[in-house]
Amino acid sequence: MVYVDEIDMDEEGIAEMMLDENAIAQVARPGTSLKLPGTSQGGGPSPAVRPVTQSGRPITGFVRPSTQSGRPGTVEQAIKTPRTSLTARPITSASGRYVRLGTASMLTNPDGPFINLSRLNLAKYAQKPKLAKALFEYIFHHENDVKNALDLAALATEHAQFKDWWWKVQIGKCYYRLGLYREAEKQFKSALKQQDMVDTVLYLAKVYLRLDQPVTALNLFKQGLDRFPGEVTLICGIARIYEEMNNISSAAEYYKDVLKQDNTHVEAIACIGSNHFYSDQPEIALRFYRRLLQMGVYNCQLFNNLGLCCFYAQQYDMTLSSFERALFLAENEEETADVWYNLGHVAVGIGDVNLAYQCFKLTLVNNNDYAEAYNNLAVLEMRKGHIEQARALLLTASSLAPHMYEPHFNFAVLSEKVGDLQRSYTAAQKSEEAFPGHVDTQQLLKQLKQHFAML
Amino acid sequence: MAEPQAAPVSSLPAATEHPKPHTKKAPELPILERKNWLIYLLYVRRDYDECKAVIKEQLQESHGLCEYAVYVQALIFRLEGKIQESLELFQTCSILNPRSADNLKQVARSLFLLGKHKAAIEVYNEAAKLDEKDWEISHNLGVCYMYLKHFNKARDQLNNALELNRHDLTYMMLGKIHLLEGEMDKAIEIYKKAVEFSPENTDLLTTLGLLYLQLGDYQKAFEHLGNALTYDPGNYKATLAAGSMMQAHGDFDVALSKYRVVASTAPESPPLWNNIGMCFFGKKKYVAAISCLKRANYLAPFDWKILYNLGLVHLTMQQYASAFHFLSAAINFQPKMGELYMLLAVALTNLEDIENAKRSYEQAVALDKCNPLVNLNYAVLLYNQGDKKGALCQYQEMEKKVNAVKERSTLDFDPEMVEVAQKMGAALQVGESLVWTKPSKDSKSKQRAALSGKSYSTQQPLGTNQALGQAMSSAAGYGKTMQLPPGAGASAPLAKPPSLPLEPEPGSEMSPEEPSAPTGAEEQRKEKRKSRQAAD
């Protein structure tokens, strides 16, 4: 009923992100840590081409619950930013969803809980392995009572004289949930010594990623691949880590390896598709997304991406019908907003500025915090010559999404035109922070500094 | 940098008690000004942290009355971009010493940097009363008037500044004003003088070269741009302009090598990719051209020149649906251009929409004044539709234009165009009055002519378009370099030709932005459902 695979359940709440310090190195070398997005060494597309979610993390093609795109700097910042900007779900203060899962499962039994945990004599059940395993699964996954589960597992593993790898993995899982990462690592390692299992490798890699040691995790995956050649989950794990570290080209290589093994792997197809789209190859991206369509994936996002790929690959007969389908399939207002936003881009592409204006307006009606739409509306207003409106919209955009460089840069250009050099300078500085390699920002800053230095 | 002054505090007594060679005791400096030398030294060494520390100490000792400390503190704030704070401090300075023109000038400068031009003018006028012979005051007044669009006053002030003391910047601003008022020749005069005055300023050289390019004086343009590139080989604007000139003369490989130099420094510049695309187009590498142009279009969706070029290349590739799409987008952004309507009509002819093609030609003929190709294409279409009379009419229009062009310059007509025109003439039996210099070929039989006309109506734009395309690309080239809209980042200190309005930068040209992300979330949910079912 409510079983969710523990491997993909990886949520960090605000508390875990901010308040616990498991990473050893505070200032790691670039390329060895997940905390500093750093420079993309893989030569992926720049923010001028591929949109970013947080400063420096390009958007990915596939969102997992464990997707962490950047981390907030302080608790205050974490509370201020929109709730879904860092994880795939609205962020919570600590990983409170485990608790909620438990309460949700209670609702399924109208006559109260199935077993009253406090009345169980765990020592007695630990003697009977057949019962103990099922009971542990129930306590851990259904009731989400990690402490009782851990007690039971400890008794059971003692009973099995520490020879059963399964119990070790379960204890490790309990420790991981409780945040005792080093203890969890011990358990998983000893389980691996006993028995090579793919699951155990994945759990151990999760622990290392939590400790912010991506290189260790990569080595572990590669060892796992020696034991299980061609195991898809392991290759996919490697690709995810590379993507987290902004090394897009290596990530794409590994995703291709995944496809060689399993040519229906949705995550790999989506990631490679979006990579191709952003590296000037919409036709190839279109083929990947059509593949997803053939496999029976049928949702708003897919049709939206198909529409975009069709438009940029100049397949005009399929473009608008895909977008219509996407609008029809949208499940909530955010998705509708996304589709309208992209329709606005199509309108700009055919030169129909009024239609584009309406589309971006509709985007904002559906989702009021849509920074990109504010920015693009401001650009359209600027074309009409409405300076004040453009300025207000750009301010809104830059306050909603401080990690995007476009609103800052546009604001800087606008201010420089009317001669307000101070605001132009502060905006240009923010733009440089968001996208250090932007040539036009550099030129603008140089010019402003000349102004300031001149007597 | 210099090593931080070893404990200036402790060394201070030493500094003051420094025995001077003459026997008299050193004159006691008032405590206010005692450490100005040190502040100045640290400031010009750009040792701002140390400098701030000394200033703070000095202000504490003098209870905030040390004018120079406040002044330098304000300068440092200005360098850090905190104009508001520096304005307040400069105002303090001018209260401490109301008879100093310098302080007033700085207050006005801060106001100018904040965009308060009217207030700045008032303060500058105050400063001018205290100091009659200062070029800076006149220059800055000119710039302020320019922002307020009082061009006449601005011109007078800048000329005044030049009489007092000649500076590159003043020339630049004066040239800018002339361009804003649309007086090209006057602007060129100004820039000529400026280049004589300082022949090594690459900005001036580039700007002058671009102006010559706009006038079509290739020789002089090349000279000045070449000079600019000698002094600064990596100059982006000059390279782009030089490259577009080479393209106009068909040296595509040389132009490409020029572009390769700047492509690494400005990898996301729409004009650059546009010109590279047109280079490939000239070398008949159409697919490469399309991919370069599409990248440019992705980076700058509002640029009609890129759209025009895309339409042109697609016509050449005989992909008429895409060509129509790009050309109609270009018309939306630039509705006053004959050639665009002509190409649109060619695309429509091939999409078998003759009615709209005719309308489009009508529009093109109405808008266009000097390009005979428009009329010729229209004539071919009418002839193919069997409308001999209309064709004759257009043909005569074309002849008028040809004569006019011949009188004006020795422009070479595209041979293919000439050939088609002769065939048309033969078909319409007006061949005698032709103005072409080339000996006409044997006139063909009517059916052949009609056929060839037919076939030409499809191929017609191709050959001629090359010339056009090159011209366009170069136009796009220097049009863009000329004024590189703020979006394209550069802020050429030049006027914008009226053809291109302010072009905002390609905002967040995002595409499957978030939507592509949730795909995954969706998938995840799906998998969960599956797993739930499995659990069931």
What residues in B contact A278, CB-CB < 8 Å?
511
What residues in B contact A88, CB-CB < 8 Å?
520-521, 524
Is B514's CB within 8 Å of A375's CB?
Answer: no
Predicted local confidence at residue B12, as pLDDT: 38
Mean pLDDT of B313-328: 94
Which tokens sit at A192?
Answer: 């691996």
pLDDT higher than 50, residue B80 = yes
Predicted local confidence at residue B285, as pLDDT: 93
Q: Which residue of B has its CA nearest to A141?
A: B535
What residues in B contact A97, CB-CB < 8 Å?
none
- Please state, in angstroms and rounded to a whole number, the distance separating the CA atoms of residues A226 and A238: 14
How many contacts does A have with B, using Cβ atoms within 8 A?
Answer: 234
What residues in A contact B294, CB-CB < 8 Å?
280, 312
SS (H, E, C) B340-380: HHHHHHHHHHHCCCHHHHHHHHHHHHHHCCCCHHHHHHHHH
Predicted local confidence at residue B298, as pLDDT: 92
- Please state, in angstroms and rounded to a whole number, the distance separating the CA atoms of residues A59 and B512: 9
3-state helix, strand, coil in chain B (%, to 5): 75, 0, 25
Q: Are A265 and A253 in contact (CB under 8 A)?
A: no
pLDDT higher than 70, residue B318 = yes
Which tokens sit at B315?
Answer: 């016509």
Å from A453 to nearest chain B CA? 6
- Please state, in angstroms and rounded to a whole number, the distance separating the CA atoms of residues B354 and A343: 30
Q: Which residue of A has its CA nearest to B113?
A: A421
Q: Which residue of B has its CA nearest to A347?
A: B329
Task: Fill in the amino acid letter for B285.
Answer: K
Residue B494 — pLDDT band, cuts 50, 70, 90? very low
Mean pLDDT of B458-472: 35
Which tokens sit at B14?
Answer: 């030493």
B65-74, B80-89, B481-490, range with the lowest pLDDT: B481-490
Element (H, E) at B187: helix B184-197
Interface test with B, best of A53, A276, A301, A444 (most B CBs within 10 A): A301
Interface test with B, best of A279, A291, A345 (most B CBs within 10 A): A345
Residue B4 — pLDDT band, cuts 50, 70, 90? very low
Predicted local confidence at residue A122, as pLDDT: 85
Mean pLDDT of B486-511: 31
Mean pLDDT of B163-170: 88
Mean pLDDT of B284-297: 93
Mean pLDDT of B288-311: 93
SS (H, E, C) B226-239: HHHHHHCCCCHHHH
Å from A346 to nearest chain B CA? 10
Residue B201 — pLDDT band, cuts 50, 70, 90? confident
**Distant-in-sequence, close-in-space partners of A306: CB < 8 Å, separation ≥ 6:** A286, A289, A290, A293, A318, A322
pLDDT higher than 50, residue B465 = no
Predicted local confidence at residue A74, as pLDDT: 63
pLDDT greater at residue B103 or residue B489: B103
**Distant-in-sequence, close-in-space partners of B142: CB < 8 Å, separation ≥ 6:** B153, B154, B155, B156, B157, B158, B160, B161, B170, B173, B174
Is B508's CB within 8 Å of A376's CB?
Answer: yes
What residues in B contact A357, CB-CB < 8 Å?
none
Predicted local confidence at residue B523, as pLDDT: 33
pLDDT tens digits for chain A (455 residues)? 677 777 776 666 656 655 556 666 667 777 787 776 555 455 567 777 888 776 567 777 787 776 666 666 666 666 766 666 656 666 666 555 555 544 554 455 556 677 787 888 888 888 888 888 888 888 888 888 889 999 999 999 999 888 899 999 999 999 999 989 999 999 999 999 999 999 999 999 999 998 889 999 999 999 999 999 999 999 999 999 998 888 888 999 999 999 999 999 999 999 999 989 988 899 999 999 999 999 999 999 999 999 999 999 999 999 999 999 999 999 999 999 999 999 999 999 999 999 999 999 999 999 998 999 999 999 999 999 999 999 999 999 999 888 889 999 999 999 998 888 889 999 999 999 888 888 899 999 999 998 888 75
| Alpha-helix residue ranges (DSSP H) falling in A279-404 | 282-294, 300-312, 316-329, 333-349, 353-366, 371-384, 387-400
Q: Are B70 and B64 in contact (CB under 8 A)?
A: yes
The rounded percent of chain B whose pLDDT value lies above 90 is: 23
Q: Are B299 and B266 in contact (CB under 8 A)?
A: no
Å from B237 to nearest chain A CA? 12
Task: Fill in the amino acid letter for A405.
Answer: Y
3-state helix, strand, coil in chain A (%, to 5): 65, 0, 35
Q: CA B43 from chain center: how many Å?
A: 36
Q: Are B468 and B339 in contact (CB under 8 A)?
A: yes
- State whether residue A52 is helix, strand or coil: strand
Closest to A271 (Cα-Cα) out of A297, A251, A290: A251
Predicted local confidence at residue B380, as pLDDT: 79
Predicted confidence (pLDDT) per residue in B501-532, tens digit = 333 333 333 333 333 333 333 333 333 333 33
**Distant-in-sequence, close-in-space partners of B88: CB < 8 Å, separation ≥ 6:** none
Is B531's CB within 8 Å of A4's CB?
Answer: yes
A372 to A1, A365, B159: CA distances (angstroms): 40, 13, 46
SS (H, E, C) A430-455: HHHHHCCCCHHHHHHHHHHHHHHHCC
Predicted local confidence at residue A366, as pLDDT: 94
Is B301's CB within 8 Å of A348's CB?
Answer: yes
- State whether residue A33 is helix, strand or coil: coil
Predicted local confidence at residue B409, as pLDDT: 52
b/e burial code for range A126-157 (CB count within 10 A of at least 16 → b): beeeeebbebbeebbbbbbbbebbbbbbbbbb
Å from B525 to nearest chain A CA? 10
Q: Are A126 and A155 in contact (CB under 8 A)?
A: yes
Residues 291-330, chain B, touching A (beta carbon < 8 A):
291, 294-295, 298-299, 301-302, 307, 319, 321-322, 325, 328-330
What residues in B contact A372, CB-CB < 8 Å?
507-508, 510, 513
Question: Cβ–Cβ contacts within 10 Å for residue B235, how many?
Answer: 22
Is B517's CB within 8 Å of A447's CB?
Answer: no
Closest to B103 (Cα-Cα) out of B145, B84, B141, B75: B75
Nearest to A419 among B78, B82, B147 (CB): B147
pLDDT greater at residue B246 or residue A38: B246
- State whether residue B401 is helix, strand or coil: helix
| Alpha-helix residue ranges (DSSP H) falling in A163-213 | 165-178, 181-194, 198-210
The rounded percent of chain B whose pLDDT value lies above 70 is: 70
- Please state, in angstroms and rounded to a whole number, the distance separating the CA atoms of residues A334 and A330: 8
Residues 476-495, chain B, touching A (beta carbon < 8 A):
486-491
Is B301's CB within 8 Å of A3's CB?
Answer: no
Is A379's CB within 8 Å of B518's CB?
Answer: no
**Distant-in-sequence, close-in-space partners of A199: CB < 8 Å, separation ≥ 6:** A7, A169
What residues in B contact A5, CB-CB < 8 Å?
531
Q: Are A202 and A7 in contact (CB under 8 A)?
A: yes
The mean of the pLDDT values for chain B is 74
